[in-house]
Chains A and B, each alone.
Chain A
Amino acid sequence: MAEVTVAARPEAGGPGRRPYEPARGRVGRLREGLRGYRLIVGMWIRSTMAYRASFLLATFGNAAITVLDFVAITIMFSHVDALGGFTLPETALLYGACSASLGLADLLLGNTDRVGARIRDGSLDTMLVRPVPLLAQVAADRFALRRLGRIAQGLGVLGWALSELDVDWTPGKVLLVPVMVVAGAGIFGGVLVAGAAFQFVAGDAAEVQNSFTYGGCTMLQYPPTVFARELLRGVTFVVPLAFVNWLPALYVLGRPDPLGLPGWVAFLSPLVAFAVFLPASLAWRAGVRSYRSTGS
């Protein structure tokens, strides 16, 4: 696919065109970044639609990959009534929430795993001279609309689980379900940005972040009671993936946390997402600042 310059270059201020002026202030920069992101995303969507049959197959495949994940879980439950003390609808709640969160993060930021490849072939330099923040360009790079498939599938299973479960609904629990999906996406998004920053150090190691995103989701779709306590501590306090869906879902289901954390912790997911994003974005900035081009 040929490189397409999306934003106007500084020198491209021809007649009738506003000369390029860098945005001032934090808000201005953010707005500019989002605008750049939107434009690049739009371009990739148009490019995807050039091969429409392939796009439809890919979207279907994207949903099907996770459907089969869920089919495997139902096959497990055809042999047992409960896994780690959790029934099928309870596990489906965990599964649907996590799958939707990861799908959302993957749609918006998933292609940050190409940073390493871009550093290697030098095309990151082209991005650096464009007047759009690098993170926005990297996140929108080869934007994959097919990932809607996974989100739709995750939300579908989540809906099924909620209809099957006999939950004692309170306003707090009702609020927690959408918050869980969005905050979960935020936490995975932070992990993806941190993974992108890591590629400045180890360009070929993009696969490591799969351990935390796809691997994390594989773990989170099963009840926490299945795993060893050291692992639970690790994903609660070190890489706080437990806040993606485990803690909120345990609260909705009215189950105690295996680590004995109090119930209100379930509402901390948005704060945790912010807490993950902060060091991740600092690491990203440090990565960009330390970047030395591979040369001509």
Chain B
Amino acid sequence: MRLYLAVAAGGFRRYAAYGTATAAGVFTNTVFGFIVAYTYVALWDERPHLGGYDQAQALTFVWVSQSLLAAGSLIGGGFQEELQERIRTGDIAVDLYRPADLQAWWLATDLGRAGFQLLGRGLLPLLAGALAFTLALPSDPLRWLLFLLSVALGLVVGFGVRYLLALAAFWLLDGSGVNLMATVVTIFFSGMLLPLTVFPGGFGEVVRLLPWAAMLQVPLDVLLGTHAGAGGAVRALGFQAVWAAVLLGAGRLVQSAATRKVVVQGG
């Protein structure tokens, strides 16, 4: 456990080292926040209470999703490209030789990275949004605690999906195609383009049950308090926990299949 804490701290420090990149990211997230916020204002002016949100809640949705975007690697980034490159070049053989579990190692680095990006890239855009628009941020500390818990579960679900993608490189070698497809799917089905509650009919119902919903939509609903009562919040967290467990388990299965496939050459 101490090993993985050290690995996570390393992930945090590694991303903290690039100050300009962080500032550039904050700038970009803020610009996007403003653009999307204006379109939501127009949309919610036409249709108040669309998707069960009032305008302040919709705007909160915009700005908090911009804040979570880097931490959740929702538009790419994160560890999987590095792991794919290690698989392609064969460096993975060294990783498999280490006295540490491959999945836990990468989960620790990714959570460390996400921890930094949550603070470094999350706080300022949200502050900018709160200054420029009326947001519906809760004042109840318990709600924030549940939100942070839900974000953490969402990060693990996101890791679970990306770990499977990374391992696909054992068969495909070049991961850029699957990464791009995964980004497409994540952007759409996480609720980043449009809250999933706005998606129509049966399609919307299916979309809200997919693992991508656990990455952004569920944490935001926990923050906005749209789940009625404590029971609703617990159900939401349970939904995320189930997906996290399923995906991590699938990751282990694929990992064992992949490592049986590895042939280490050279001496």
A-to-B contact residues, CB < 8 Å: 51, 53-58, 60-62, 64-65, 68-69, 71-72, 75-76, 78-80, 82-84, 146, 202-208, 210-211, 215, 218-219, 222, 226-228, 231
Contacts and interface: CB of A to CB of B under 8 A. Distances in A.
Given A204-B20, A208-B24, A219 B35 contact: yes
Contact of A208 (B27, B34, B173): B27
B108 to A, nearest CB: 24
A207 B180 contact: no
Interface string B161-202: 000000000001111111011011001100001100011100
Contacts of A146: 180
Given A83-B46, A208-B28, 9 more contacts: A53-B177, A58-B177, A68-B187, A75-B198, A76-B194, A84-B42, A203-B20, A205-B20, A207-B25
A65 B74 CA distance: 13
16 contacts: A54-B172, A55-B177, A57-B177, A57-B180, A57-B181, A78-B200, A79-B47, A83-B42, A83-B46, A202-B20, A204-B24, A207-B24, A207-B28, A211-B28, A222-B42, A227-B35
B24 A83 contact: no
A205 B23 contact: yes
Q: How large is the interface on B (under 10, 10 to 19, 20 to 34, 35 or more residues)?
A: 35 or more
A205 B176 CA distance: 23
Contact of B178 (A57, A215, A222): A57
A80 B46 contact: yes
B36 interface: yes
A205 B38 contact: no
A202 B27 CA distance: 14
B31 interface: yes
Contact of B180 (A51, A61, A79, A206): A61
A1 to B, nearest CB: 10
B173 A51 contact: yes
Which of A65, A207, A208 has the largest number of chain B CB atoms within 10 A?
Answer: A207
Contacts of B194: 72, 75-76
B180 A205 contact: no
B30 to A, nearest CB: 8
B42 A226 contact: yes
B257 interface: no
Nearest to B204: A75
Contacts of A80: 43, 46-47
A227 B34 CA distance: 9
A222 B42 CA distance: 10
A69 B188 CA distance: 8
B192 to A, nearest CB: 9
Contacts of B31: 211, 215
A72 B18 CA distance: 34
B43 A227 contact: no
B33 to A, nearest CB: 10
Nearest to A223: B42
A231 B25 contact: no
Nearest to B203: A75
Contacts of A62: 180
A218 B32 contact: yes
A221 B175 CA distance: 30
A215 B176 contact: no
Contacts of B103: none
Contact of B21 (A64, A71, A79, A204): A204
B50 interface: yes
A215 B32 contact: yes
Nearest to A205: B24
Contact of A231 (B38, B43, B198): B38
Contacts of A206: 24
B177 A64 contact: no
Contacts of A65: 180, 183-184, 187
Contacts of B32: 211, 215, 218
Contacts of A69: 193
B134 interface: no
Given A54-B172, A78-B200, A218-B36, A64 B28 contact: no
A205 B19 CA distance: 9
A215 B33 CA distance: 10
Contacts of B38: 222, 226-228, 231
Given A204-B18, A219-B35, A72 B173 contact: no
A94 to B, nearest CB: 12
A135 B2 CA distance: 48
B259 interface: no
Contact of B27 (A78, A211, A219): A211
Contact of A207 (B19, B21, B177, B198): B21
Nearest to A228: B38
B226 interface: no
